[in-house]
Amino acid sequence: MATHVTDTKEIPSRTSGRSRVREKPLRTFVRQVRLDAAADTGYPGYRGVIAASPESAIAIGCWIETGGSGPSLHLHACDQFYVFLAGHTTVQLGNDVHEAGAGDVIFIPAGLPHCNWNNSGAQEHHLEFFVPGIRPGLPMLTALTSVDEVPTPVAAPYTRAIGTGPSSSAGASTRWTIADEASGVRSARIDTVELAECEAPGDPQVLDVDHLMFVLDGRLTVAIAGQDTVCDPQSLIVIPAGVAHSEWNKSSAPVRYLDVQVPAPEAYASLAPRLSTHQ
């Protein structure tokens, strides 16, 4: 089986809210999220690169210089997660304003007005996950002038630090839950996983959901469709549903990674409506 997938780059347009698409060559299941591959988004001091865009999710690497910002107040028709990797930033969620920094994860439910800007004095770097993925030709966002223009989503936003929250352990592996149904998130399951020491590879697994892993620290070894690859920090691993794979730590140093499982669009469409107002 080939170990490559076709990918495109999509950067939201500042003027229309739609995507500018640039075709890219075939890319492997493992992609490096690098600043030198990022493009100017049209927003002040904001560069981004779409590292993955399967139907189930979009993953974007973002860098915002001090004094820069993302789009002004807006919403998305899908759930969104900010994963902050370096620096500090300010995020407005509805009427509330929060300070966030490296190691924080913010859940933004579909339909919630929000925006972010960086006045920290240094560049910040974060990942954004949109679940499910936005269909080609549809706007990435809807611009707003006021929080009061739209109803309040049923789901509530929250911030959680990487490596905190409910946890479970098995052997050298520890898993902390960032997002799941118990957290009020029905579109994705996100965990932080730490592999504390060298271990033997486990049996391959085949999931019925897309599986994304982002390496935070250390070097993660993955076997995908029978081929082994060592993944450095800032690597995003994208494994479509139905593809056999396994991951393990074969080094003497600990490995930490984000483990993201996202359902197919059909599964998402069957969920209860998310944008009704509170009674």
Please report, for the domain that includes residue 67, its CATH number.
2.60.120.10
Q: Is the pLDDT of residue 279 over 50?
A: no
- Same structural domain, 135 and 75: yes
Q: What is the mean pLDDT of the chain?
A: 86
pLDDT given for residue 253 in this prediction: 94
pLDDT band at 264 (very low <50, low <70, confident <90, very high): low
Structure token pair of residue 86: 């370096």
Using one digit for the tens of pLDDT, what is the confidence trace for 22-33?
Answer: 333 324 799 999
Q: Is the pLDDT of residue 11 over 80?
A: no
Alpha carbons 157 and 154: distance in angstroms, whole number: 10
Q: Tell me the residue length of the chain.
A: 279
Alpha carbons 180 and 76: distance in angstroms, whole number: 20
pLDDT band at 232 (very low <50, low <70, confident <90, very high): very high
Q: Which residues touch 251 (CB under 8 Å, ≥6 apart)?
A: 198, 218, 219
Q: Is the pLDDT of residue 21 over 50?
A: no
pLDDT given for residue 9 in this prediction: 42
Cα 241 to Cα 98, 181, 207, 210, 229: the distances in Å are 35, 20, 6, 5, 19
Least confident piece of the model among 49-63, 139-153, 159-173: 159-173
pLDDT given for residue 153 in this prediction: 94
pLDDT given for residue 247 in this prediction: 94
pLDDT given for residue 270 in this prediction: 56
Alpha carbons 126 and 73: distance in angstroms, whole number: 19
Alpha carbons 210 and 260: distance in angstroms, whole number: 8
- Same structural domain, 130 and 229: no
**CA angle at 122 for the pair 121 and 128, rounded to the nearest 5°:** 120
- Same structural domain, 171 and 33: no
Tell which of 161, 179, 198 closes a domain.
161
**String of DSSP letters for 125-169:** EEEEEEESPPPTTS-S-EE-S-GGGSPPPSSPPEEEETT-SSEEE
Count CB atoms within 10 A of the CB of residue 161.
16
Domain that holds residue 188: 167-265
**More confidently predicted of 82 and 134:** 82
- Same structural domain, 81 and 214: no
Structure token pair of residue 26: 């075939």
Percent of the chain with pLDDT over 90: 69
Does 213 reside within a domain?
Answer: yes
- Whether the pTM exceeds 0.95: the reply is no
